[in-house]
Chain A
């Protein structure tokens, strides 16, 4: 019933794609420099042996594993949110799905890099890949690290597919427009290829939507399993304050929490940088802000439950680790984490004004720091205090580890800047579809605005 939803607003979305945008290109260059730092530090480490990093005995895992868990955690933003919101048919998700799914895909790629960086002999990482060789030996599937490989590979493939499938019709929209405006340009050729020849017939839409619906349903348990399995890298070990049954759900909640934090920050930057306030509007920030608050409460609950049981149980080895967190060596980290992950969100997010774009972005940045600290406390805090107290240790990172961390943030930025210049960061067809659905007449003459969605993507 509704007329064309294509409006002046869409120009803001298409601007980064059509032609050359110097500011975005500069962004790609600067973050590309940080990527150079990442690979320089990593190369230095490979050439000069892994001893150039700060990891030691007994803290055999340090920054690299913290970063690994951190990035995999962030990856739970997109796919999980856009999948859950699709399955629950929440209409306000439409402008958010693509930028969230992009975060997931890139965070997963970076997270998957860190186990390689962390290996003592990364050139034989392929020993972990189950391929037949004439050695006859296979990887050990009892190891949680093998579960990690299977889970992260599955989630990465699933996320990439979940990101790319809905992009096909968008590429077709841009293709059809650019074929008329500049049929011979290189970018037009790129969009022609990327659209795969999509025509937008009812049968194609039917199949695509069935596929996206199914993917949304499948990707949710995958996402839950991925961070559960990552948490089991710790929970399967019998180290004090690692061997906890709560780690599975605790890490999943923490992952979604950190994912929403990154999403809020990214959405704020996109909104400001690309001037797409009509799409990433106050309502979207408000709703996501409520989700953010819900996860702040969930995370705080799990953290309290974990620490209460350790304190109350008073088991000797666990109490040593616990005391170091509360008022010992790691107390600075611990209480900072509590402030940025619990106190500030509880002070800011319950009020509508706090759920403004800037408010949620600031809280999100704090939560990012806090969640990184949480992983640091779990990895380094436990490993510093082994059961035989004689071998208590001390970890301090070197420039190699810090450089790789900074470089990984740069890599994320680089991938994202590049993505913005190749694909619309808000899903054009989904937003258009949302407008159509809103303006459709209701079956029995009710006003269009009150009509619930009859058909969902």
Chain B
């Protein structure tokens, strides 16, 4: 019973916004409201009181610093471990080390960004079961789902094109 949801599909994001404001007025906690869409919506279409935040680009910068340092140390330490002079260049040749460090910065930033996205989005997330109105998202409608024992009033579904329990 505690995991029953009321799903409502809305044709446009404006109608969904009206519904979400209604839910906010009814005092439904944002953690019990889920909005789903096939495109990013306008910045104010989300459960009232929910904060959208991301640690990107700070994690990307941290990854970049980590990657750059790691690659530079790889070049420096491996050149010194088995020092073989080649072509009159120094054992730790700084211009080539610079090239390698640059790539380390890039790959650190990339991997850290991807990891942050996956963690913040909670992916992979196979545990949540598909709902009865999910196909509406594929049709570019907006789906709002509310946990059942909240929001006793169903006035917020007034403009929905279809509702279902699941």
Task: Say if the two chains contact directly (CB < 8 Å).
Answer: yes
Chain A interface residues (CB < 8 Å from chain B) = 1-6, 130, 136-143, 146-147, 150-151, 153-154, 157-158, 161, 165, 168-169, 172-174, 176-177, 179-180, 196-211, 214-215, 218-219, 221-222, 225, 229, 428-429, 432-433, 436, 440, 455, 457
Residues of A within 8 A of B106 (CB): 154, 158, 218, 221-222, 225
Task: List the 9 closest A-B pairs by CB distance, nearest first.
Answer: A197-B125, A138-B78, A211-B117, A4-B140, A177-B138, A207-B120, A202-B46, A180-B135, A176-B138
Residues of B within 8 A of A141 (CB): 74-75, 78-79, 93, 96-97, 100
- Please give the number of chain B residues whose Cβ is less than 8 angstroms from any Cβ of chain A in the complex: 69
Within the complex, what minimum Cβ distance (angstroms) separates B96 from chain A? 5
With A147-B100, A210-B57 as contacts: A215 and B81 at CB distance below 8 Å:
no
Most buried by A among B56, B57, B111: B56
Within the complex, what minimum Cβ distance (angstroms) separates B81 from chain A? 7
Within the complex, what minimum Cβ distance (angstroms) separates B139 from chain A? 5
Residues of B within 8 A of A200 (CB): 36-38, 137
Within the complex, what minimum Cβ distance (angstroms) separates A223 from chain B? 10
* Chain B residue at smallest Cβ distance from A170: B38
Interface code B105-149, partner A: CB below 8 Å = 1, 0 otherwise? Answer: 011011101101100111111111010001101111100000000
Within the complex, what minimum Cβ distance (angstroms) separates B48 from chain A? 12
B155 at the interface (CB under 8 A from A): no
Within the complex, what minimum Cβ distance (angstroms) separates B34 from chain A? 6
Contact B138 A211 (CB under 8 A): no
Contact A201 B11 (CB under 8 A): no
Contact B96 A147 (CB under 8 A): yes
CA distance A3 to B39 in the complex (A): 12
Most buried by B among A158, A169, A203, A204: A203
Within 8 A of A (CB), among B87-107: 87, 89, 93, 96-97, 99-100, 102-104, 106-107
B21 at the interface (CB under 8 A from A): no
Contact A142 B96 (CB under 8 A): yes
Known: A6-B138, A202-B46, A207-B120. 11 other contacts (CB 8 A): A142-B96, A147-B99, A151-B99, A172-B137, A173-B138, A180-B134, A200-B137, A210-B56, A210-B117, A218-B109, A225-B99
> When A and B form their complex, what is the total count of cross-chain residue pairs whose Cβ atoms lie within 8 Å?
202
Residues of B within 8 A of A5 (CB): 39, 140
With A6-B139, A142-B93, A151-B103 as contacts: A214 and B121 at CB distance below 8 Å:
no
CA distance A139 to B86 in the complex (A): 12
CA distance A218 to B110 in the complex (A): 7
Contact A196 B125 (CB under 8 A): yes
Residues of B within 8 A of A147 (CB): 96, 99-100, 103
Contact A3 B57 (CB under 8 A): no
* Chain B residue at smallest Cβ distance from A143: B96
Residues of A within 8 A of B125 (CB): 196-199
Contact sample, A vs B, 20 pairs, CB 8 Å cutoff: A1-B14, A4-B141, A137-B82, A141-B93, A142-B86, A158-B110, A173-B138, A176-B135, A177-B135, A197-B126, A200-B37, A201-B34, A203-B52, A203-B121, A205-B37, A205-B40, A206-B53, A210-B57, A225-B99, A432-B39
With A161-B114, A172-B38, A455-B43 as contacts: A206 and B60 at CB distance below 8 Å:
no
With A138-B81, A455-B42 as contacts: A168 and B109 at CB distance below 8 Å:
no
